[in-house]
Amino acid sequence: MSIKGQVQGVQQMIEDEKYCVDILIQLSAARAALGKVSAIILKRHVESCVVGAIESGSEEEMTEKIEELVQVFSRYN
Amino acid sequence: MSIKGQVQGVQQMIEDEKYCVDILIQLSAARAALGKVSAIILKRHVESCVVGAIESGSEEEMTEKIEELVQVFSRYN
Amino acid sequence: MSIKGQVQGVQQMIEDEKYCVDILIQLSAARAALGKVSAIILKRHVESCVVGAIESGSEEEMTEKIEELVQVFSRYN
Amino acid sequence: MSIKGQVQGVQQMIEDEKYCVDILIQLSAARAALGKVSAIILKRHVESCVVGAIESGSEEEMTEKIEELVQVFSRYN
């Protein structure tokens, strides 16, 4: 995950008092990068936990996982 | 869905040349309302289609639904 | 502003029980459209009110407008 | 800027294979933190560069700065 590097880069730009618009563009790039990692983690989550809950046949577990998934989605939209 | 009403309200504000900041606040409220509807539709989607695909036992169908779900998530984050 | 039409279209899709993923894609398109209108209104706001406040020479008015602009930005990011 | 720490924390959580939903919540928190930094930088930008351009009396410089500001806003909304 190179996002740490991106965030470090932004921090350096702020310290060096680089042009604000350039900093803002880098900040939005770091945000987009976090969004991409989120999509990967979400995929992993659905493939393992959500599928597992549905396959378990437990109505309760399934409902809980779906509820959780919608909560996560709501944080991002 | 009262979002249509919200959008109509914003349109009226623009025509009436209301204060821009007030229009922008209403626009962000309409966006948030769309986000809430999206969460409801997503929930319905997971509960029916995604669960259905997983329960079908078809690896292919399941993979397709998960892929689609991640695509949708990516549009929003 | 055809966003009203877009929102109406989404509403129809929901009533017609169209495929949820298609509805979600239309919802994200409507959101993006609201974002574009917001950018236009923001531009108009800066060109008139913010420039006006800065040109007025009133420190207080200028500070107020900048504060307001940052508040608006924060609602969107 | 503690965002670097937050990103590092998320990276650790991924390596430790923590629960995906907890990772997703931390990722959205890091995104929100980047949004807050962006608002601070935007404020600094308007207070210095945009105000400077408007006060310069150069129509061209002012137009350029406003255009740039709207571009930045569009990246975030």
Chain C residues interacting with chain B (CB cutoff of 8 angstroms): 1, 3-4, 7-8, 10-11, 14, 19-21, 23-25, 27-28, 30-31, 34-35, 37-38, 41-42, 44-45, 48-49, 68, 72, 75-76
Note whether A77 contacts B74, CB cutoff 8 Å: no
Q: Which residue of D has its CA nearest to C57?
A: D55
Residues of chain C found within 8 Å of residue D62, distances taken between Cβ atoms = 51
Torsion sign across C-alpha atoms D2, D6, D7, D12:
positive
For the stretch A15-65, pLDDT in tens is: 999 999 999 999 999 999 999 999 999 999 999 999 999 999 899 999 999
Minimal C-alpha gap between D27 and chain C (Å): 15
Minimal C-alpha gap between D35 and chain A (Å): 8
| Predicted local confidence at residue B2, as pLDDT | 82
| Long-range contacts of residues A10-16, Cβ cutoff 8 Å, at least 24 apart | A10/D1, A10/D37, A11/D1, A11/D3, A11/D4, A14/D1, A14/D41
Note whether C45 contacts B20, CB cutoff 8 Å: yes
Comparing CB atoms, the residue among C38, C51, C62 nearest residue D77 is C38
Residues of chain A found within 8 Å of residue D1, distances taken between Cβ atoms = 7, 10-11, 14
Subunits next to A (3 or more Cβ pairs <8 Å) are: B, D
Measured between alpha carbons, how far is residue B22 from residues A54, B60, D32 in Å? 45, 49, 24
Note whether B72 contacts C21, CB cutoff 8 Å: yes
pLDDT of B1 strictly over 60: no
If one counts every other C-beta atom within 10 angstroms of the C-beta of residue C15, the result is 9
For the stretch D14-38, pLDDT in tens is: 999 999 999 999 999 999 999 999 9
Minimal C-alpha gap between D36 and chain A (Å): 10
Q: What's the rounded Cα separation, in Å, for the pair A19 and C13? A: 46
C54: amino acid identity, one letter: I
For the stretch C24-50, pLDDT in tens is: 999 999 999 999 999 999 999 999 999
Q: Are B26 and B9 in contact (CB under 8 A)?
A: yes
Instruction: Give me the mean pLDDT over the B65-70 stretch.
Output: 95
Note whether D73 contacts C74, CB cutoff 8 Å: no
ipTM: 0.90
Minimal C-alpha gap between C64 and chain B (Å): 12
Residue B16: burial class (beta carbons within 10 Å; 0-12, 13-18, 19+): exposed
Nearest alpha carbon to residue D50 among D38, D63, D65: D65
| Predicted local confidence at residue D6, as pLDDT | 92
pLDDT of B76 strictly over 80: yes
Percent of chain B with pLDDT over 70: 99
